[in-house]
Structure 1
Amino acid sequence: MWMTPSKSTGHAQFCNVMAPYMATTEPTALLRHYSPPAPAYDRYDAIPRELRAEPFVKWAGSKKRHLSAFDPLFPAHFEAYHEPFVGGGSAFLYLAQVGRIEKGILSDLNAELIHLYRVIRDDVEALIATLDQYQYETNFYYRIRSLDPSKMSPINRAARMLFLNRTCFNGLYRVNSSGKFNVPFGRYTNPIICNAANLRHVHRLLQGVELQRWTYETVLEVANSGDFVYLDPPSQVLASSARFTDYSPEAFTDNHMGRLREVFDILDQRGCLVMLSNPNVALNRQLFDGYDIREVTSPRAVRRDGRRRGRRVELVIRNFA
């Protein structure tokens, strides 16, 4: 498994790690691939909400509000689906429900998140039964937070992760220098800890899906020509303002984005369909100049105090059009 290089190893070692996959010619960033749009959002929106699988965790940078805008930008046909920064899984759940995904490989560097996905796929009823015993209460929250997940049973470990995510402050995932989750208790009115129906819907869609704790470079070991790779890396903007996008152990920095451009180029040259979403910042436009770049504006979200948040502009970068 390829590991993200530390600051001390730098770009040179990264290139050595990538060498087996590198093409002998310089990337041309030409749009050699074509995928006609096949909008399916109306079909998705017609699924009754009580029957729809939706993200089961709160996750920074969720693309749930962007799905209607992303819909015509997704490829209509592809072989396997890869999502190396799966997070809350909005894109996967959408594409799976409209029948686009036959084979899926989802991965993330967050071990607790991937463990939760696996338990939902393999033993959702036991997870639901365990979560039914959890309570939204301050002392209970801090007692669960203090537990060492490595010493818990698989079901209790997954329940801990989902409980903390649903009841911590703003749904943040943040760990201290010792790797311990340290987000404080969140103040909510009757938060839903376990949406059993939704977990069962997600369980159904995860059947046959491969779930791995991998760094994003590992997609180069498994993606083949004709596959679709969706990249949704942690936002540098969010990292600088909220400190909750740590990426083992350093934040996902501008250097990481430069490395991700190299991964993007290799996948492009291999014949994969590649799509990346990230905030509309100058660096992203510069790094991916030559590819298809679109601006996507999210609908306004309502804040807890009733006021509306500002719109957020995302860039969607593709090697196909």
Structure 2
Amino acid sequence: MININGYGSVKPLLKWAGGKRQIINELYKRIPEKFNYYYEPFAGGASFLIHLYNNNLIKYGAISDLNGELINFYNVIKYNLNEFLEEEKKDNLPNNIEYYNLRDEYNDIIGDNNYKIRRAVLFLYFNKHAYNGLWRVNSNNKFNVPFGKYKNVNMFDYNNIYNFSIMLKNINIFNSDFETVVKEAKENDFVYFDPPYQPLNKTSYFTGYTKNGFDYDEQKRLFKVFKGLADKNVNVMLSNSYNEKMLELYNEFNINIVNVNRFINSDASKRTGLKEIIVTNY
């Protein structure tokens, strides 16, 4: 039976690079005592939003991401759930040949709002069946991740999709730059920034989440936004990689260091032993 009560019933729908499931408790320990409106300008898999919602802490909020396909997926789940569920019944094709046919189809309609329902279904399909659940586009904004060869994939948890849609009812969804999204943030609101992380070295530089990437100039622009919000007495939290540049950039604020494993890596031996920082202004 579908649980229509909402609170306490939502799990992430997506596996997402940079997801916060591992440090959710570390983040949760550091949230402000009270807050009004919640902002998450780098939504990704929305695991922190979900955690706050499940603890009955989200009344109204806004999420955003520059990944237009991700935001289309969330909008369809929020506004077009029945059409989404009807469309998904057409495909249950995890084999290699069908994967690449579907990938070609998807790349023909990517970004086209005439096919928003189909795009959303295929987006979830690739999240479950692509190698490591990775989202990556090339310079032409075409999805190019190979088949993952997974067995026993649970594509659609209908109860969870339904409850996820309920959660989004009071959440505004944007496909906008982080600076634009938080412009209206006020005193006692709460903003959580989870940007693409500053790379630890040149070989770890991965910018494929969107075609434009996120370089150190963007990190500095984000810091200015963080500081501007702090000056307005907005509660601000940020997570990023543990490295000299980030420590120096945010040295006037509270910096906590946490241990983390990163699961989206082609080499399982490299999924351990890393650190991240959690920065707050309160």
- The equivalent of 1:139 in structure 2 is 97
Do the aligned residues in 2 keep the contact of 1:106 with 1:212 (CA within 8 Å)? yes
Shift of the 52–240 alpha-carbon distance from structure 1 to 2, 3 Å rule, reads: farther
Equivalent pair of 1:114/1:211 in contact (CA under 8 Å): yes
Q: Which amino acid letter does the alignment assign opposite residue 186 of structure 2? A: N
Aligned partner of 1:272: which letter? V
Q: Of 273, 282, 285, which aligns to 2:235?
A: 273
- The answer to whether 1:286 aligns with 2:235 is no
- Indicate the SS of the match to 1:267: helix
Task: Identify the residue that residue 203 of structure 1 maps to in structure 2.
Answer: 165
- Determine the structure 1 residue equivalent to 2:12: 55
Give the 3 Å change call, closer, same or farther, for CA 146–318 of structure 1 in structure 2.
same
What whole-Å deviation, never above 9, does each CA across 1:145-181 have from its counterpart, x for those lacking one?
Answer: 1122316522111111111121111111111111111
Gaps of 5+ in 2: 1-7
Larger-gyration structure (1/2)? 1
2:226 pairs with 1:264: yes
Aligned amino acid, residue 101 of structure 1:
I
Equivalent in the alignment of 2:57: 100
Q: TM-score, normalised by structure 1?
A: 0.77
Contact 2:95–2:149 (CA under 8 A) maintained in structure 1: no
Which has the higher mean CA deviation after the structures are superposed, 231-240 or 90-99? 231-240
The CA deviation at 1:109 is 0.5
For the structure 1 residues 242 and 119, does the alpha-carbon distance in structure 2 shift closer, same or farther, using more than 3 Å as the test?
Answer: farther
- C-alpha distance 214-294 of structure 1, shift in aligned 2 (>3 A): same
Q: Pick from 141, 154, 178: which aligns with 1:192?
A: 154
State whether residues 292 and 318 of structure 1, in contact with CA within 8 Å, keep that contact through their aligned partners in structure 2. Answer: yes
* Alignment partners' CA distance in 2, 1:60 and 1:256: 19
Partner of 1:231: 193
Return the offset for 1:239.
9.4
SS of the aligned residue for 2:29 comes to: helix
Superposed CA offset, 1:116-141 (max 9, x none): 00111122233233223322122221
1:182 corresponds to: 144
**Superposition pairs of residues 21-60 of structure 1, within 5 angstroms:** 52-60=9-17
Q: Which sits farther off after the overlay, 272-281 or 251-260? A: 251-260
The code of the aligned residue for 1:196 comes to Y
Checking the alignment, whether the CA contact within 8 Å between 1:168 and 1:186 is kept in structure 2 is yes
65, 70, 73: which one pairs with 1:116?
73
Identical columns (%): 33
State the match for 1:4 in structure 2. none
Task: Tell me: CA distance 1:157–1:235, structure 2 relative to 1, closer, same or farther (3 Å).
Answer: same
TM-aligned CA distance change 1:263 to 1:306, over 3 Å: closer
AA aligned to 1:145 is R
Residue 128 of structure 1 contacts residue 194 of structure 1 at CA under 8 Å; is this kept in 2?
Answer: no
Q: SS of 1:91's equivalent?
A: helix
**Aligned residue number for residue 71 of structure 1:** 28
Mapping of 1:168-179 within 5 angstroms?
168-179=130-141
Question: What TM-score comes out, normalization by structure 2 length?
Answer: 0.87
Contact 2:39 2:182 in 1 (8 A): no
Q: Give distance in 2, aligned partners of 1:238 and 1:55.
A: 27
Distance in 1 separating the partners of 2:205 and 2:149: 20
**Residues 172 and 244 in structure 1, CA contact (< 8 A), matched pair in contact too:** no
AA aligned opposite 2:57: R
Residue 207 of structure 1, CA deviation: 1.0
* Mapped pair 1:81 → 2:38: yes
CA shift for structure 1 position 74: 1.1
* Partner Cα distance (1:127, 1:109) in 2: 22
Deviations along 1:239-269, one digit per CA (max 9) or x if unpaired, are: 9546653465432111111111101111111
Task: Give distance in 2, aligned partners of 1:103 and 1:138.
Answer: 42
State which drifts further: 267-276 or 293-302: 293-302
Contact 1:232/1:276 (CA < 8 Å) preserved in 2? Answer: yes
Cross-structure match for 1:48: none
CA contact (8 A) 2:174 2:181 kept: no
- The one-letter amino acid paired with 1:85 is F
**Do the aligned partners of residues 215 and 205 (structure 1) sit closer, same or farther apart at CA in structure 2, a change above 3 Å counting?**
same
Q: Which moved more, 1:260-269 or 1:183-192?
A: 183-192
- Report the residue type matching 1:188 in the other structure: Y
Q: Structure 1's 300 and 83: CA in aligned 2 closer, same or farther, altered over 3 A?
A: closer
Q: C-alpha offsets along residues 260-293 of structure 1, whole Å, 9 cap, x if unaligned?
A: 1101111111121000001111111000001000
